[in-house]
Structure formats: structure tokens, C-alpha cells
Amino acid sequence: MTYRLLQGCYVGISVSESETSSRRGFPPAQVNRATFDIAAALVGQGARVVFGHDWRPDGIMEAVCRIALLTTPEILTGRPEDAHTIENLLPWPPGEEYLEEKDLDRLNAIVRIKQLDLPEGLSEFQRADIGKGPFKDYLRARGLTHLRRALDEHTHARVCFGGKTRNYQGRYPGIFEEAYFTVLSRKPIYLAGSFGGATAELIGAVMGKPMPEALENESHRMREIYRSYADRERGADTSGDRVVNPKVIWSTFQELGLSGLSELNRLSEKENLALFESLVLERTINLILAGVGRLSRASRDRDSRE
Amino acid sequence: MVEAEVHDLKVGTPPLQVLILRDSKDENVGPVADAIVRAFQGSADATGYIATGPGVGVTPEVFEPEFLDPELVDQERLHDTSLVGRVGKKLDAACHTLVIVLIGQRLHETIHDRESPFLRDWLSDCWSHVDQSDDRHRMLVFPRDESMAERFSRLPGLQYLQVWPLDKFDEYALRATMVALMALHHARLLLALPLEDSNPSRGRPQGNLRFFISHAKLDALPLAQALRAQIERIPWLDKFYDADDLLPGSNWRRELEKGVASSLIIVLRTDIYDTRYWCQQEITWADQYSTPAVLVDVRTALNNESSALPFTRLPVARVPDGNLMRILSIALREGVKYLLFKRRAEEMRRSGILPPNTELKVFSYPPSMRALLHACRSLVTSKHAATAKQVILYPDPPLPEAEHEAALALIAKFAPNVTLTTLQTLATSA
């Protein structure tokens, strides 16, 4: 088979600017462009891409929707199941996506957009008028964790680029948490170092480096908030999500190591190192395609044996 | 940290990267940087003289000078892939790197800051690496004016680096476009020089590109002459680009077949173009030989009949405003796209994703059935047919499903041992 080798594969994309992406030659417009290139490459090979990105006026989602406009499988194959090459999950609270209803309707044929609620244990606050303040921050952070759990359930693999390490809204930097859940699920993850940021930090953990103090320090504020409000949530199965401890994430990636990462994502250790260090986007994309392609082939081989 | 040995990885080295250094607070070089970015990565923005539309497939990286200051960079951080202290590694990460430096007032002051030589040092290191690269890389420096250019050229280590003062580039309104065209031109030269079929033997310099103008003499002569004159009045363009008429007959067909990488057809589609025998032949053969081409639609009617001629794969320019630079920018872009794709294919072979004895037929656009049929017949009768793996490569994204099935059926009938694929499909199956 030499056509659309990633059909049936859902790939989560965790991409955003980092504090150093501009220094690396990727100011915000170029981050959007690179996101487009990565998503287009995956969609071109038949994959579906899944984002947990809200519709801030930073252009990433608009850029990504252009891919779907360029490749509209439903029109070309006539099969409704081929629609929606892009899926977008939105965290609580709703109404902050910066898109009007008519725009969401227009995009609905291209992008499957799903608005998530708060976890069940916080459902009483779903529509409450909370106002601003630390409890709202707690709820927003819980909403983000709930989103990231859903993203993990919904995808077969994850690609990580960049990501902030400071001034984040969740209990952890977004890419940290998304990557963490992926690894806990023993799903393949691709860590591209080009944009630096949270992804570069995770690469450091994989390579055995100690966690920088700055990451620990950044988590203090959310740790205090979680201590204050975690017991307002019911449900034992979310107790792990109501604790802030970045060391847990760090040690998970340290224990994974390069060999564990390679086992998960089907890239050799050398290929993973090249992905960590790649200075050219084209090579980064080709490495990711190689890894996801091997997974897809292995999955098809398993299915055909069964 | 273990340095990865990337040379033996089966992913190929990207043929080209473009690095732009500028201070974003220098207002007068901002439009120039934007024009260069748009020339390479495409844009829907119709302002300026650069054509809109998709780019060549290269996303330029844009740097601020402060990010080259080693005092701002933690060198102990793992995987810090910034340019500081590693300029050679960054440049060598691609087969070719085009470094563009746009010097406005702020960048000029930073360069000449006596207290802080980091930018001077970086520029000197960069130029040194480029200069010793044996034409593998290029560095283009565009100071705002001649006096900045003069001061720049007196800096230690930079005396032999040619600079182009922006105030010498024609009218102010055209400068950004001219610089962007020059950047495309140099990118094309970098990609073309290592390829044998990009170097025609006519006493022209290596990397010469021939624009063949296909037109109906009865109504397209003034436009053809104007286009030729536009090319001739730009010295650096004129040296490398010929604009010739396509002569009736078969000689230029053979020349096209042999020199695809050094030829580009500009089709001036006037009202009577479709009805002229030799025009029909020219556009059909261009499709058959997969020659890069650009269509300039200058028909005057408000509605036109459908045509069986193979125009659909061509990028189209219209010039109701007389902007011939739009044609040049699309033409140069198509030239770069073709070479980029061809070099990517070569890298796939070099890196082992394709076996070394692979015989490649490369299209820089999704091939028509006519072009595929010609390619199949050519490969089947090739002297390597019995021993080589034969592959037809075209750019991503892959063909839509119906077209793909039709293409496979055609290949199965005429050249059953040939594989049809794209570069990213090859990467996915590596």
C-alpha cells in the first residue's frame, strides 16, 4: 500500500510558542505556519489531527483550517466518514473561543468542534457565575486537565513542539500535561526540540537531566490554589488530578528515558536524538511521519493477523 | 549530550533553508523582510508587487539580533538550538542555506556598538563559514543605504562580502519586490548548481534559466517584448535569464527534455492562443515533458469557451495593472519549486530511502494523465528498465482518491514495475 498510509490514525498536536521560539527563528507567525506544515503533512497521509487549542486571535486554528479547505476528502470521495480531517476539543468555560457562532457553523463541515464540560465532580459549578479569583482559576485548570485527558483518549499518538513554561493557566504547562498523559497511556509521543520551551524541558528529562528549579517555582501558585479547593470536588478517580507536583511528570520522563521513548514511538534512539536537535522543520516533519508510519503499519499487521 | 549522527539517518537532508536577520523595530526594512517571507512561503496578501499564491515550500526563519547575544543564552541548556555559537551547525543542517541580513538604523547601531561586539562576531563567523562552504551557502546583506554599506564593508572579517544597498534597488516602491526576487534567484542558483541538467552549454553562466515564451505572434508581441525588456533592464536577472521565443519545430522539444531544470515556459494566453497550432503543441509538450511553466492569462473576453489544452496545473498570473514583476515572481518561484523538489528526490536517494539505483521521474506538480503516460513510456524503454527500481515522484499532498486510482490503472497497464508516490509518502513508509 502506498497511499494515505495513516488512514484511521488520530494524531494529537501540541504546538505553541515558547519563551524562546522567536530566538530560534520562529516568531508567532512562523509558529502558525509550522503548525500548518505539520498538520498538512499528517492530513496528506490520511491521518486526522486533533487539537485542544482554543480560538485565540493568534491565528493557529485559522491556519490549520486552511489545510482542511485544501484537502476536502468528503467532497473527493463522497464518503461522509471521510469528513472532518481536523478535530478540536475546547475546554471549559465555553464562550471564550473568540469565534462567533456563524464562524463556528461555517467551520463545522471541516472541523469537528466539541465543547467539553468540567469533570463530573465539579458539575455543580458548570454554569455557576463564579466571577474572577482563585476558585475560577482552579476550575479553569481542572477544565484544562479534563480536556487533556479527553485529548489522550481520542488520539493514537502525540506530537509536541514548543510550549510555554511560565504564566500558564493549567496546573502544569499545557504540553507537560498532554505529554504526561500520553506517556501514562503508553502511547507514542514525538518530542521536537525546534521551538524550545516545554518540549525542550521534557527532552531534558528524557535525557536524564535534573528538573530545573524554575519549573518547580512556577508551580507554587497553582499548588496553593489546589490545596485550597481540591476538596470541593467529589470523585476519588480524579484525586490524582487534584494534586500539583511537577516532579511526578519529570520523573516519569526520566524513567522513560531515550530507550523507552524509542520503544513507544518506533523511532530509533538516533532518530529521536535527531528529532530533539533538528534545526530544520522539513527534517522534523519527515521524522514524525516515519515514526507514525511505522506505528500505523504495525497496527495494520496486527489487525490482519487477528 | 550525545550528538546525533544524522548523516546515516534515512530521512534525507532538506535542500534549502532561508534565514533572515533583521531588527523588527527597523521600519524601513520591515516590508523587505515581509516580501522575502511571502516570496518563499506564499501569501494571500495582494499588496506590493509579489504574486500571491502558495510559496515554494520553504518557511524562512526570522531572527532578531538580540537573540544572537550569548549573554542572553544559557549555553548549558540541553538542545538549545539557537544560532549562538553554533552558526556552522545551523547552516550545515540543510544542503544549502541562504542567509539574508537586512540592515536598518537599529541593526546598524547594534553592529557598530563598540561595547558589545556580539553581532559583529556573529556576522563574521557566519560569513567565514559561508565563504569556506565552496558555494554551498550564500549570504546576502542589504544595508539601508550606501553609507551604511560602506561602513559595513570596513568591518574586520567582512570586507569581501558583497553588499547591496537598498537605495540602489530602483524606486522605493519596488525595492522590497526586487530584493525578494533576488533572494529567490539566489536560492535557485544554490539549488541548481549541483545538478547537471541545470547547466546548459551555451556560454551562459552555470545556473542559467531560460524562459521560453510561448505566445501567438498575431496578438501577443507587445507583451512578449515588454516582458523581455523587463528582464533585460535588471542586470543581475539579465545575466542569468534568457527570454527566448519558442520556435516552431522539434529542436526546442529535445532541448526541453534534456534541460528541464534550466527551462521554464511562460505562456502568454491571449485571445487567439488556443486556436494556434504551434501554441497548442507548445503547451501540450510542456505538459508532456513536465517542464515548469507559468500561465499569463491576458484574454480580453468576459467569458471563454472551455479548452482541452492542459492549463489546469499551471499557476496563473493576470496583469490588468501592467505589473510584469508578478510574472517574474511566479516564474522564479516555479523555478525554485521544481529544483527544490528535484533535490529532495535526490536526497531521498542519497539517504537510502530510495535504493541508489533508482531511476526517478520527477514532477514538480501533480501529473496529468498525458504526462504520466509519457513518463511510463519513457521509463519502460529506458536502458535501466531491467535493473533499476523505477519511481515517479510528485509533490504532496497525494492525489485525490479517484485520480490516484486512475493513475495506478494507467501505470499498471503501461509500466507495471513503476511506483507512483510522493516524498512524504516515502518518509511515512521509511
ipTM of predicted assembly, 2 dp: 0.87
- What is the residue whose three cell numbers read 528498465? B385
Please write the tens of the pLDDT for every residue from A79-122. 555 567 888 898 888 865 556 677 667 677 778 888 899 998 89
- Asked if residues A32 and A177 have their Cβ atoms less than 8 Å apart, the reply is no
Residue A287 has pLDDT above 90, yes or no: yes
> Which amino acid, B154?
R
pLDDT band at B7 (very low <50, low <70, confident <90, very high): very low
> Which amino acid, B179?
V
Residue A130 has pLDDT above 60, yes or no: yes
Give, as one character, the DSSP assignment of residue B163: B
Could you report how far apart the first and last alpha carbons of chain B are, in Å? Answer: 26
Closest residue on chain A to B401 (Cα): A77
Q: Is A66 on the interface with B (CB under 8 A)?
A: no
Distance CA B363, CA B93 (A): 25
Q: What is the pLDDT of residue B344?
A: 86
Distance CA A52, CA A44 (A): 20
| Nearest by Cα to A43 from A16, A72, A63, A15 | A72
Listed in order, strand segments (DSSP E) in chain A are 10-16, 48-51, 86-90, 111-115, 157-162, 189-192
Which burial class, exposed, middle or buried, applies to B385 when counting CB atoms under 10 A from its CB (0-12, 13-18, 19+)? middle
- Asked if residues B213 and B246 have their Cβ atoms less than 8 Å apart, the reply is yes
Give, as one character, the DSSP assignment of residue B215: -
Residues 184-213 of A with CB under 8 A from B: 193-194, 196, 200, 203-204, 207, 209
Angle between helices A246-265 and A269-277 (to 10 degrees): 120
Q: What is the pLDDT of residue B2?
A: 32
Q: Which residues of A touch B101 (CB under 8 A)?
A: none
**CA-based nearest distance A88→chain B, Å:** 22
Closest by Cβ to B59, choosing from A22, A37, A290: A37
- With an 8 Å Cβ cutoff, are B404 and A3 in contact? yes
Residue A183 has pLDDT above 90, yes or no: yes
Q: Given strand B390-394, what is the order of strands in its sheet?
A: B359-362, B390-394, B418-422
pLDDT band at B400 (very low <50, low <70, confident <90, very high): confident
- Asked if residues A261 and A272 have their Cβ atoms less than 8 Å apart, the reply is yes
φ, ψ of residue B101 in degrees (nearest 5) = -115, 120
pTM confidence score: 0.84
pLDDT band at A53 (very low <50, low <70, confident <90, very high): confident
Q: Which residues of B touch A6 (CB under 8 A)?
A: 428
Distance CA B107, CA B118 (A): 12
Residue B26 has pLDDT above 80, yes or no: yes
Q: Which of A70-79, A231-240, B63-72 has the highest mean pLDDT?
A: A231-240
- With an 8 Å Cβ cutoff, are A71 and B397 in contact? yes
Residues 127-166 of A with CB under 8 A from B: none
pLDDT band at B222 (very low <50, low <70, confident <90, very high): very high
User: Cell for B240?
Assistant: 542569468
- Residue A193, C-beta contacts closer than 8 angstroms, at least 6 positions apart: A199, A200, A203, A275, A276, A277, A278, B79, B81
Mean pLDDT of B166-194: 88
Mean pLDDT of B246-274: 72
- With an 8 Å Cβ cutoff, are A30 and B420 in contact? no
User: Cell for B343?
Assistant: 533535490
Distance CA B263, CA B290 (A): 11
Give, as one character, the DSSP assignment of residue B274: G
- Asked if residues B142 and B164 have their Cβ atoms less than 8 Å apart, the reply is yes
Q: Is A16 on the interface with B (CB under 8 A)?
A: no
Q: Residue B390 CA to chain centroid, in angstroms?
A: 26
Distance CA B145, CA B150 (A): 9
Could you report how far apart the first and last alpha carbons of chain A are, in Å? Answer: 19
Residue B198 has pLDDT above 60, yes or no: no
Q: Is A2 on the interface with B (CB under 8 A)?
A: yes
- With an 8 Å Cβ cutoff, are B79 and A204 in contact? yes
- Asked if residues B19 and B61 have their Cβ atoms less than 8 Å apart, the reply is yes
Strands B96-103, B53-54: pairing is unpaired
Which residue did the predictor score with more confidence, B274 or B169? B274
- Asked if residues B297 and B250 have their Cβ atoms less than 8 Å apart, the reply is no
CB atoms inside a 10 Å sphere around CB A126: 15
- What is the residue whose three cell numbers read 506517556? A183
Helix, strand, coil shares of chain A, percent, nearest 5, are 55, 10, 35
Report the share of chain A in percent with pLDDT over 70: 86
Q: What is the pLDDT of residue A67?
A: 64
Mean pLDDT of B329-344: 89
Residue B11 has pLDDT above 70, yes or no: no
